[in-house]
Amino acid sequence: MSAMDFLVFQLQAPMASWGEAAVGEYRGSAPHPGQSALVGLLGAALGLDRADEAAHAALRDGYGFAVGVLGAQGDGRLLRDYHTAQVPPRSALKGRPHATRRDELAMPKRELGTILSTRDYRQNVHYLIAVALREGATAPHTLAALAQALRTPRFHLYLGRKTCAPAAPLWPQVVEAASAHAAMQVFGERFEAQRQQAQAATQAARPQRWVPEVLEPLPSLTRLHFDAHIPAGVPAWLNVPRKDRLMSRRGWQFGDRTEFTAWLAEEEPPCS
């Protein structure tokens, strides 16, 4: 397999929520980000308007994606939240501006209703993301341009919900490798070299003191989830359908796609 360029970056946060199909008042979360979440993340970094359907479709169709789970608990522990929210009746919003939450609630409290829902989150997540140009497609941005956008995002970046901000820099790197798995390994080597350099510099500045680690080492890859448009470099153990292919950002409509999974390191698959 010949070498090609990959964009690799990390996503680490105390909380994340990767929305799936909503049924009634329940809002579940997948263990790891899907295609729509990654398209939305790149779109926010680039400063795309949510109403720009063509730009989001170009991101969806221009790249292949792979998600590496770091550590045995890298996809986080489940946290379930019983959520209440005040909302005005639809009739009260007609004929008056309501661009912000403050505008929506600018009415007597007796006229407000309450919506109840159950929402799932994932705690202490850590992933590596690999992005590659999709063969035969026209990518709207180079990988270097996407990396720069992630370093200096136009809009706030978050992991599924706006309250789930990254806990560490994404540190995007353009890596030449034969596969997404190999590219993530190169990213890990670069990260470790950077970590040791930062630790040595901090220790040199305080030679008489004990200095804690300024960066935590990256855990090992335990699983790799990928689509059909990126060379994974490892055989898939299973494939499952996911309803996370962005169809309409404005209408919150999603289609099906196939996601492949490979188990790595010491973690064993749930069945053979």
pLDDT digits (tens, 9 = 90+) for 159-182: 999 999 999 999 999 999 999 999
Q: Is the pTM of this model over 0.85?
A: yes
Is residue 217 in a domain? yes
* 115 found inside a domain: no
Give me the domain span that covers residue 223.
4-80+121-263
The CATH code of the domain that includes 57 is 3.30.70.2660
* Of 186, 58, 67, 68, the residue nearest 134 (C-alpha): 58
Question: Is residue 222 situated within a structural domain?
Answer: yes
Q: Is 116 part of a structural domain of the chain?
A: no
Tell which residue, 193, 198, 188, has the closest CA to residue 218. 188
Number of domains in the chain: 1
Q: Is 225 contained in some domain?
A: yes
Per-residue pLDDT tens over the stretch 180-232: 999 999 999 999 988 888 878 877 777 766 656 657 888 999 999 999 999 99
Residue 192 is assigned to a structural domain of this protein: yes
pLDDT reported for residue 177? 97
Examine residue 92 and state whether it is found in any structural domain, yes or no.
no
Query: pLDDT tens digits, residue range 121-147?
Result: 999 999 999 999 999 888 999 999 999
95 located within any domain:
no
